Amino acid sequence: MSGKIEYTLSGLSCSHCASVIEDRVNRLPWVNEARINMATQILSLNAGEPESVSRHELQSLVDSIESGITVENRENGGAERRTALRSMFLKRIGEIGGALIFLLLVFTPLVNILPYPILFFALAYILAGRTVLTAGFRNLGHGRLMDENFLMIIATAGAFAIGDYPEAVAVMLFYQLGAFFQDMAVDHSRRSIRNLMGAKPDGVLVLKGERVIETAAEDVEPGTPFLIRPGDRVALDAVITEGRGNMDVSALTGESYHRQVEVGDTILSGFINTDALIRARSLKSAEDSAYARIIRMVEDAGMHKARAEQFITRFARIYTPVIVGAALLLAVLPPLLIEGAVFREWFYRALVFLVVSCPCALVISIPLGFFAGIGKASREGILVKGGNYLEALNRVDSVFLDKTGTLTEGRFLLREIRTAGGWDEAAVLEAAAAAESGSTHPIAVSILRAWSAEHPSGSPEAATEIRNAAGAGIRALWKNRPLLIGKAEWLKREGVAGAPDQEGGAVLLAWDGEYRGSLYLSDRLRKGSADVISSLKKEGISRIVMLTGDSATAASALAQELPLDGYRSDLLPEDKLRILEEAASEGRSTLFAGDGINDAPVLARADVGVAMGGLGADAAIEAADIVLMSDDLNRLRIARTIARKTRHVVVQNIVMALGIKAVILALAAGGYAGMGWAVFGDVGVALLAVLNVLRIMSDRGPTSPNVS
């Protein structure tokens, strides 16, 4: 029996170390697959026998690769992680400060009475480079030569060898100082991303009789009654049992509006109760709540790497050995081939080459950039399941939109009932409500709402053996006779006598093989749909098509109100799937937006599947690549804006890092750049790249089409 287990690797900041740890964990006999998300420091592994997993064994393995990394159970993060980070930062400050004191002593009058000034340089060097020296020699013992620690040791030891003691110490000191600020910036960006969703609700006021007991959310079982005070953040998915009021749903939907709730309504963890005392009954555990699921999705999204991330990982494996080889040739060939060339001078240039060679700026900042984009999207009520989908949004050129619930509100109103076969309106409505009683489709909800309005305290005589005919209708037994409700063509195929031709907005009903009436429903165009379609066209989407199972009459009427490039009607789910496959065969990059329940195969087939209004809908979250948590099509445009912003920042980091490194490498080869420039080309550029990533999260105008 296999299972997924997750750990937090506190203190992990070296991307190369992460790659090595991932590789070594994957070699463990009880591990089927292991992946490390650098942005969240999460190690996710699938174990053949979860009970055989040993955190201590993992800790020993990690210690053999890199010191200062703590393996913790993911749920234990919090305060322990912050304490460990604080301790690590304080130790780093102490080492840097001590090294600086020893270095300054050499340049004071005390140097004249010191018998061996080199000892002070050595002490300063050891203090400044303790972590680098420890990691570098340990990696050497494991046969790993091409990591930044060992390269720094070679470069600074070489400076010592040619008598440049102050520079050797200064380079190690400034390298550690730069790494310190880089780690701080990375940690800040991680915390900023985690905080985008707001504070995690964790306290629950459990009701035991008339007593109120504050309990941790993790300890509350489904079915437990609890109290929600005004101002409280809802900690668990629940159903209201007493009270009515308003809920701020912005943490989940990204929209600053309040939702009215009353007895019988479902509320989700992450909502904020604004104005009334409410009693509720929990529906799920804290681990399975909507809020926890969303945060978990955002964090796990880093496991799905974008093409840019995959490229940089492959690039780094080739880039560093090539640079090391070039540095070796730079040290050896000129003194042999150029008359008058001094080995000491060319050796120094080669050392500069080594220092600047590490691709950390790319390997750290690019995954962090995509993760920041995913975090930013989550704050806007948009769940993106991976950097690959965020990247794919930029390539989409064909958009296919479902009609009901996507372009329209999906809230039908029953406006007319026509009868036949001796039935009256009440009988038609009762039979329809009985057939639709087990469905959550918008049409079913509208019919049931109409029945409830007429019979507030009753319910229709129950139908049995209810079965769904996908894209066509529902068949059931009612009063021991077959009952059908759905499209006219389907009723005719089922042999129903007297069924009229399909009319826009009509649902036909037959009982005992005879047509008994039609229910005419109307659905309103979603506000802003036309503007969103126009905006998408301006952004370069070449083709926008509506796909619907509705009749040609209903589809044509709606299409006239929208700037679409076309529409297809009377479609079954397999028809929609075929249309997307045809578009893919033409070389188009497709996006499909639908409700995520009936259109799951189409969502899965599209290059980017977008589920509309996935608030609490498990099927939507499972089926789609991107989930818009509110019923607002404009969120699709916001998602593309965030995707463009993320792409621009990632490209900027790639160009900046490679450009600066190329310039410093060229200057070093010509003898115009020293160790100080080399350190800037390594940790300085990495720090700039991480700070650039923070722009994604700090941008306060996601809806703006202008991206710089």
> Which residues are catalytically annotated?
402
> What is the spatial order of strands in the sheet that 31-37 belongs to?
31-37, 42-47, 3-10, 70-73
Asked if residue 371 lies in contact with residue 301, where contact means CB atoms within 8 angstroms, the answer is yes
Buried b (16+ CB within 10 A) or exposed e, 564-583: beebbbbbebeebbebbeeb
Asked if residue 653 lies in contact with residue 548, where contact means CB atoms within 8 angstroms, the answer is no
* Cα–Cα distance, 511 to 496 (Å, whole number): 9
* Cα–Cα distance, 644 to 370 (Å, whole number): 11
Paired residues of 477 in beta bridges: 464, 482
For residue 44, give every residue at least 6 positions away whose Cβ sits within 8 Å of its Cβ, in sequence order, or none.
4, 5, 6, 34, 35, 36, 37, 300, 303
* Cα–Cα distance, 57 to 50 (Å, whole number): 14
User: Taking Cα atoms as reference points, which of 440, 406, 448, 413 lies closest to residue 522?
Assistant: 413
Cα–chain center distance at 506: 41
- Token pair, residue 24, equals 């070594």
Q: What is the CA radius of gyration of the chain?
A: 32
* Cα–Cα distance, 101 to 90 (Å, whole number): 16
* Cα–Cα distance, 525 to 529 (Å, whole number): 7
> Quick check: helix, strand or coil at residue 559?
helix
Helix axes 307-337, 343-356, angle to 10 degrees: 180
DSSP letter (8 states) at residue 680: I
Residues in the chain, overall count: 708
User: Taking Cα atoms as reference points, which of 149, 151, 150, 169 lies closest to residue 160?
Assistant: 169
Identity of the residue numbered 677: W
- Token pair, residue 280, equals 């509720």
How far the first Cα of the chain sits from its last, in Å, is: 50
- Token pair, residue 269, equals 């963890």
* Cα–Cα distance, 486 to 471 (Å, whole number): 9
* Cα–Cα distance, 665 to 687 (Å, whole number): 19
Output the CA angle 450-489-510, nearest 5 degrees.
50
Separate counts of helices (H) and strands (E) for the chain: 24, 26
- DSSP letters spanning 592-659: EEE-SSTTHHHHHHSSEEEEES-TT-HHHHHH-SEEESSS-THHHHHHHHHHHHHHHHHHHHHHHHHH
The residue with tokens 């709540």 is 289
DSSP letter (8 states) at residue 407: I
* Cα–Cα distance, 221 to 36 (Å, whole number): 32
* Cα–Cα distance, 615 to 594 (Å, whole number): 14
Helix axes 165-195, 117-128, angle to 10 degrees: 20
* Cα–Cα distance, 550 to 558 (Å, whole number): 11
Asked whether the CA dihedral 281, 299, 630, 589 is positive or negative, the reply is: negative
User: Taking Cα atoms as reference points, which of 702, 679, 693 lies closest to residue 159?
Assistant: 679
